[in-house]
């Protein structure tokens, strides 16, 4: 995967992460009693965050000073 492809993938993941966050907030605000669905969405959100961190770590290497 090229650096440009990684940056595009990162943007897609960020958008999906924000969308999931908004959906979870909407369900909670509406008083949804489907806790299993909310838990699954939160788990998916965490997986997205992990994927984003992996890509960011690759794109922005640690600089040892």
Q: Summarize the confidence of residues 5-31 as an average pLDDT.
A: 95
For residue 22, what are the contacts with CB-CB under 8 A and spacing of at least 6? none
Q: What is the pTM of this model?
A: 0.84
**pLDDT tens across 20-40, in order?**
999 999 999 998 788 999 999
Q: Summarize the confidence of residues 1-28 as an average pLDDT.
A: 95
């Amino acid at each position: 995967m090229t650096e440009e492809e990684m940056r595009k993938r990162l943007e897609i993941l960020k958008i999906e992460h924000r969308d999931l966050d908004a959906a979870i907030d909407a369900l909670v605000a509406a008083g949804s009693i489907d806790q299993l669905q909310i838990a699954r969405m939160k788990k998916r959100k965490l997986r997205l965050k992990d994927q984003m961190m992996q890509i960011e770590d690759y794109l922005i290497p640690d600089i040892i000073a």
